[in-house]
Structure 1
Amino acid sequence: MSHFSSFDALCSALDDRTFDRLPALVANAHITGLGVARALAAHDVPVVALDRSGDGVAPASTAVTAAGEVTYPLDDRDAFREDVEELVDRIGREAVAFGCMDEWVHAFAETRPDGVRLSFDADAAPAVLDKEELYARADRLGVPYPETYSLDEVDPADAAEALEFPFLVKPARKREGEEVLGTNVVEVADAEAFAEVVDRAQSADIRVLAQEQVDVAVGEDRSLASYVPPGSVDVDDSTDTPDPLAVVGNARVRHPRAFGTSCVVDVVEDATVREQALSVLADAGYHGISESEFVYDRERGEHVLLDVNTRPWKWIGLPVAAGRNLPLAAYEAVTDGDVERACGRERASRWVYLRDLLAGLASGDAPNVLTGEQWHAVAGGRPVDAGVTTGVFDTADPGPTQRLVETEFSGRDYYCSC
């Protein structure tokens, strides 16, 4: 277990450590960062967790060697690069970077700090994360996606007439837009609300899209969790290129129910989603970890692509437990290791984030999809006995759960739910 330190204290702590292997720099240091840290530490990879806030759960984990503050890249990108380069200098050898939210991915990709190996394709990632470019690619490939208009290319009045209220406004670059708009999806009910959001975005020089509000079948979405190795850009299984490591997940329960973050996710089979997601990644030439998000549109009668995250995400622990350790695969690939080490037996096919599931059950917003056997196994501290893996909660690593409880009841609020 580490403590979250100031930047200067983190530098001093790294001066006192010797690393036998290249450490991983994991940013941010909350639920997703914890999942990455545990996946790597289980294979003896040292982890240094970075963030702008000490309220995340990851620093309290035994999987984290050291944790501390760096300049937030949306505040000062050059200072962020300088901080990372200073940390690498203190470490005394190169490090492998894992960006766990879009702004950290963009920061590592665009600043390319000296001494840092990136766990993802820095050239292709920005184009995949940008929704304007993503939907243009999907359109070219014939991958279904919601009706969408770039307000840089289409007059807002024309977009509103085509979509009809209510509809959604989304930033092209999620986290930068979220900092300005307060969320990454804004529902606008009328012309006045639409104009207000567009004005705020334009004043901050944020590109936004107008998008239809899909008639989503709640509980029927799909996401491809994957690691695509370098050179694996052809989804034809007959090729000699390395096969992607991939698992399709279904977020059975979200909190809040319709559009919240995942709290119960199951492994499912869906060849269509797998092929469509990999075709988008292949067209972009992207290699690395990604989550390709689809929802089921009841009006169209098919899944439509919403987003691709070229990074780990909240339920990254599910593919790990399902025998596809995506963070380890990325680490091995960039350190000239054996990517096959990332393939193992399936220990669980369901991921549960108890904090949100219990909140949903208490409010009546979420259904109880866990069986009695699964609840018993979770309560007994051995969820894998019932094929379940849990986010944050782990009796063998209790520090993050303690940190989560402390922040829940202290009035402090971590800046990102993931």
Structure 2
Amino acid sequence: MAEKFRSFDGLRRVLAETKFDRPPAIVCNAHVTGLSVARALSAHDVPVIAIDRNGNGVAPYSDAVDFAGQVTYPLDDRDGFREDVEALASELGHEPVAFPCMDEWVHAFAGTEPEGVRLPFAGRETIDAVLDKESLYEKAAELDVPYPETYRMADTDPEDAAAALDFPFVVKPALKREFEEAVGTNVIEVADEEEFLDVVAMAEDAGINVMAQEKVDIETGRDCSLASYVPQEGDPVTFVGNARVRYPQEFGTSCLVRQTDQPEIEGRALSILEETGYYGISESEFVYDKSREEYVLLDINTRPWKWISLPVQAGADLPGAAYADTVGDEFEAGETHDSTWVYLGDYLKLLANDAGFSDVLNENQWRGLFSGEFETSDALTTGVYRPSDVGPAYRLMKTEFGTGDYYCSC
């Protein structure tokens, strides 16, 4: 565990006093996703430096993190962020490898390209083409990859879009992070034209491009994503996960995910990544449309995400592959196997209100969680809780129920 979450000057000072025998990883933001990335890299004896805007995330309190500290938040001052990262890198004796775990950190690294830092993912132009749903859906259409009926407000009259779609439908941003910062969510369901026009007006005032999109007739429990690391050269490391349970249901984040066999999803996702030229870690999200009777693409995240510890546990070590590829180490991908990931905080909240999900984890899995024996099995893993590394779980408890405060859409 990092001795403490340090100020920027304190972090720079302790890094200057430390001798590293291999390139460290810089992981940010330092919350649930960052924790999973840190644990994956630490298993390969990679030194981990966690950076964030404050110390309230869970990752700095993990034994997998060697040092943690504050840097300028890129949404506040991107140039200040670049200067901070370059200053930290200059103290290490190696060029660190960056693992940004939220969109704003991805944009900050790709957009400023700090000197002395290695980026294991494609450049800004490619990332923008993937993250921007307008350009993403254009690529999907070219490749015959199904996606929801969508109208861009940049070139469609709102009243025409309202007439073409059945209420209720959803309004989404082309780039979700800026919308999320402005309104606190990345999707808004509208019940009638008045609500829709209000949301469009709000987005226009904020200078944010939005889209009107059909509310897909989703079959709950069948959402699937391709988790992948695509190298610049060579074969990708892949894993398909089924988001069996979300919290809240439909538009919530995953809280229980299992391995599944969906070669069609893998093929469609990889075709888009190849067409855009994207390399690096990504998650390609699909939902099952009952009306179409097929999977449709929602979006692609060009970064690690909340349940990335599942593919790691199941044999598809995406962070390990990305690090090894970037520094020139050997990495050999093995066969994947069945495994389940659960984010206990959200899953228990769901169970408190809906007993219909109580049997998704079986008795043996619950017993393994209660006893801690799940850590010695490759069939189950968690988002935060691990008896051998309890600091993050304690920190999350303080964040959820105590005096701590940390915002992260993961």
| TM-score, length basis structure 1 | 0.94
Partner of 2:30 in structure 1?
29
Partner of 1:134 in structure 2?
136
The ranges of structure 1 where at least 4 consecutive aligned residues each deviate by more than 3 angstroms after the TM superposition are 344-348
3-state SS, counterpart of residue 291 of structure 1? strand
3-state SS, counterpart of residue 397 of structure 1? coil
CA distance in 2: counterparts of 1:99 and 1:378, whole angstroms: 29
1:400 is the counterpart of 2:402 = no
CA distance in 2: counterparts of 1:288 and 1:365, whole angstroms: 39
Partner of 2:92 in structure 1?
91
CA distance in 1: counterparts of 2:265 and 2:222, whole angstroms: 12
Q: Which of 359, 366, 376 is the aligned partner of 2:367?
A: 376
Q: Which of 232, 249, 252 is the aligned partner of 2:244?
A: 252
8 Å Cα contact 1:255-1:366 kept in structure 2: no
CA distance in 1: counterparts of 2:127 and 2:75, whole angstroms: 17
Cα distance, 1:157–1:415 mapped onto 2, change above 3 Å: same
CA distance in 2: counterparts of 1:303 and 1:155, whole angstroms: 28
1:324-372 CA-partner distances (Å, limit 9, x unpaired): 10001111111111132xx246576111111111111112266020110
Partner of 1:152 in structure 2?
154
Partner of 2:256 in structure 1?
264
CA distance in 1: counterparts of 2:199 and 2:110, whole angstroms: 29
Structure 2 letter corresponding to 1:387: A
8 Å Cα contact 2:239-2:336 kept in structure 1: no
Partner of 2:300 in structure 1?
308
3-state SS, counterpart of residue 168 of structure 1? strand
3-state SS, counterpart of residue 90 of structure 2? helix
3-state SS, counterpart of residue 170 of structure 1? strand
Structure 2 letter corresponding to 1:364: D
Q: CA RMSD in A?
A: 1.5
1:222-264 CA-partner distances (Å, limit 9, x unpaired): 1000111113xxxxxxxxxx22111110011111122211111
8 Å Cα contact 1:291-1:308 kept in structure 2: yes
CA distance in 2: counterparts of 1:4 and 1:201, whole angstroms: 37
CA distance in 2: counterparts of 1:138 and 1:81, whole angstroms: 34
- Among the aligned pairs, what percent are the same residue? 58
1:8-30 CA-partner distances (Å, limit 9, x unpaired): 22112212211111111111111
Partner of 1:205 in structure 2?
207
Partner of 1:119 in structure 2?
120
Cα distance, 1:347–1:56 mapped onto 2, change above 3 Å: farther
8 Å Cα contact 1:97-1:116 kept in structure 2: yes
8 Å Cα contact 1:23-1:47 kept in structure 2: yes
8 Å Cα contact 2:339-2:378 kept in structure 1: no
Partner of 2:198 in structure 1?
196
8 Å Cα contact 2:53-2:71 kept in structure 1: yes
CA distance in 2: counterparts of 1:227 and 1:129, whole angstroms: 16
8 Å Cα contact 2:258-2:338 kept in structure 1: no
Q: Unaligned regions of 5+ residues in structure 2, if any?
A: none
Shift of 1:200: 2.1
1:388 is the counterpart of 2:380 = yes
Alignment of structure 1 residues 173-184 onto 2, 5 Å: 173-184=175-186
1:225 is the counterpart of 2:215 = no
Partner of 1:238 in structure 2?
none
CA distance in 2: counterparts of 1:191 and 1:412, whole angstroms: 40
Shift of 1:198: 1.6
CA distance in 1: counterparts of 2:320 and 2:402, whole angstroms: 35
CA distance in 2: counterparts of 1:366 and 1:276, whole angstroms: 32
Alignment of structure 1 residues 10-89 onto 2, 5 Å: 10-89=11-90
3-state SS, counterpart of residue 91 of structure 1? coil
Structure 2 letter corresponding to 1:68: G
**Size of the alignment, in residue pairs?**
406
Q: Which of 389, 398, 415 is the aligned partner of 2:407?
A: 415
Shift of 1:417: 3.9
